[in-house]
């Protein structure tokens, strides 16, 4: 895209894994550091930017396009914490149509309205649902819209499974100008095996882990106030974790093409971890770090 400004980054992951929470806290931390940021929610759930805007709703691009023939940037955006420009792509009427349509519509509209030229962002973060990587959801990582993607996962197998599917999509599009992978963001770290399990999966797929975000009550509390942790609890340890993650994404522009595991490899890998966790839980192995 020739009118592209700033670094365009897509954050993918399974539904409910913490994409919007993590993305919003990264946006807030980048804004706090003085950057101009746009966050584009690319999930039919349309709640990506809620905690940047005091918990309030925002008309989605798709709904607004349905209702108005002429759409202005003011109609589909709101300025949130730290001046972050918030946009929600939206989705089709439930049960009808492709869930990826909102993303296509939003990306096209932002270019038509010359939002990037006028807003001059340093960062544009796309928060994208990644349970299924159908054509619509692949839009931000295809055709050079985002240059880098990050994948959020926890140590739950379904999250790892979704991450591996995202690696497959990135692997497919990267050679023809699509996004490369910046790395994995490990979220909801709580059990002692969470970190080694995610590290091991990432190393099998040949990708770096760029940050570890603990499962924290502070996140839940901030969400109830309709805020990011950066806004609600700026002096907390968790805010420090998000700031570190944001500065890592800012400083490091390295990226890779992942090597996804195939079906049997992923199953074998999962079984090995099942055994390791069983051994640790049953006392055969005392410290997770040792395995």
Q: Residues in the site for ligand ADP, rule: CB under 6 A?
A: 13, 15-21, 187-188, 213, 215-216, 219-220, 223
User: What's the CA gap between 187 and 155, in Å, rounded?
Assistant: 8
Query: Binding partner of residue 220 among ligand ADP, Mg ion, none, CB under 5 to 8 Å per kind?
Result: ligand ADP
Query: Binding partner of residue 18 among ligand ADP, Mg ion, none, CB under 5 to 8 Å per kind?
Result: ligand ADP
Q: How far is the CB of 152 from ligand ADP (least distance, A)?
A: 7
If 0-12 CB within 10 Å is exposed, 13-18 middle and 19+ buried, where does residue 76 land? buried
User: What's the CA gap between 92 and 59, in Å, rounded?
Assistant: 13
Residue whose token pair is 């439930």: 94
Q: Rule CB under 5 A: is residue 20 a binding residue for Mg ion?
A: yes
Region of residue 102 (phi > 0: left; psi between -120 and 50: alpha; otherwise: beta): alpha
Q: Rule CB under 5 A: is residue 187 a binding residue for Mg ion?
A: no
* DSSP category for residue 82: G
Nearest of 256, 255, 228, 253 to residue 243 by alpha carbon? 228
12 Cα distance to chain centroid: 4
Spatial neighbors of 289 by CB under 8 A, at least 6 apart, are 196
- Could you give the count of Cα atoms lying within 13 Å of 210 in the half-sphere of its Cβ? 29
Query: Binding partner of residue 13 among ligand ADP, Mg ion, none, CB under 5 to 8 Å per kind?
Result: ligand ADP
User: What's the CA gap between 198 and 222, in Å, rounded?
Assistant: 26
User: What's the CA gap between 129 and 138, in Å, rounded?
Assistant: 10
Query: Binding partner of residue 284 among ligand ADP, Mg ion, none, CB under 5 to 8 Å per kind?
Result: none
Q: Residue 131 catalytic?
A: yes
Spatial neighbors of 72 by CB under 8 A, at least 6 apart, are 113
Number of residues forming the site for Mg ion (CB under 5 A): 3
Q: Residue 244 catalytic?
A: no
* Closer of 84 and 219 to ligand ADP (Cβ): 219
Among 19, 43, 127, 227, the active-site one is 19
* Closer of 32 and 43 to Mg ion (Cβ): 43
Among 7, 14, 43, 127, the active-site one is 14
* Closer of 51 and 145 to ligand ADP (Cβ): 51
* Closer of 47 and 122 to Mg ion (Cβ): 47
Report the 10 Å Cβ neighbour count for 252: 13
* Closer of 43 and 147 to ligand ADP (Cβ): 43
Tokens in use for 2? 């020739």
Query: Binding partner of residue 50 among Mg ion, ligand ADP, none, CB under 5 to 8 Å per kind?
Result: none
Query: Binding partner of residue 64 among Mg ion, ligand ADP, none, CB under 5 to 8 Å per kind?
Result: none
- Binding characters for Mg ion, 25-64, by CB under 5 A (x = yes): ------------------x---------------------
Q: How far is the CB of 218 from ligand ADP (least distance, A)?
A: 8
Interface positions with Mg ion (CB under 5 A)? 19-20, 43
Catalytic residues, by residue number, are 14, 19, 45, 131
């Amino acid at each position: 895209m020739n009118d592209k400004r700033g670094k365009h980054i897509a954050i993918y992951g399974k539904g409910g894994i913490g994409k919007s929470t993590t993305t919003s806290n990264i946006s807030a931390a980048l804004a706090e550091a003085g950057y101009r940021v746009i966050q584009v929610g690319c999930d039919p759930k349309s709640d990506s930017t809620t905690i940047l805007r005091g918990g309030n709703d925002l008309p989605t691009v798709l709904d607004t396009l349905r209702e108005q023939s002429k759409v202005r940037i003011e109609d589909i955006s709101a300025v949130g914490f730290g001046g972050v420009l918030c946009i929600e792509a939206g989705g089709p009427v439930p049960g009808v149509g492709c869930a990826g349509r909102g993303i296509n519509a939003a990306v096209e509209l932002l270019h038509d309205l010359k939002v990037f030229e006028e807003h001059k962002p340093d960062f544009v973060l796309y928060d994208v649902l990644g349970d299924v990587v159908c054509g619509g959801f692949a839009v931000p990582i295809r055709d050079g819209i985002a240059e880098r993607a990050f994948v959020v996962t926890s140590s739950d197998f379904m999250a790892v499974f979704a991450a591996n599917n995202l690696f497959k999509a990135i692997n497919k599009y990267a050679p023809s100008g699509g996004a490369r992978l910046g790395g994995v963001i490990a979220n909801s770290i709580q059990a002692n095996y969470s970190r080694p399990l995610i590290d091991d999966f990432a190393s099998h797929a040949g990708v770096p882990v760029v940050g570890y975000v603990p499962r924290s009550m502070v996140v839940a509390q901030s969400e109830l106030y309709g805020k990011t942790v950066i806004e609600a609890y700026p002096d907390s340890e968790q805010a420090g974790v998000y700031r570190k993650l944001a500065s890592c994404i800012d400083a490091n522009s390295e990226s890779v093409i992942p090597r996804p595991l195939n079906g049997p490899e992923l199953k074998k890998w999962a079984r090995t971890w099942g055994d390791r966790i069983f051994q640790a839980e049953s006392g055969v192995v005392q410290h997770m770090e040792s395995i």
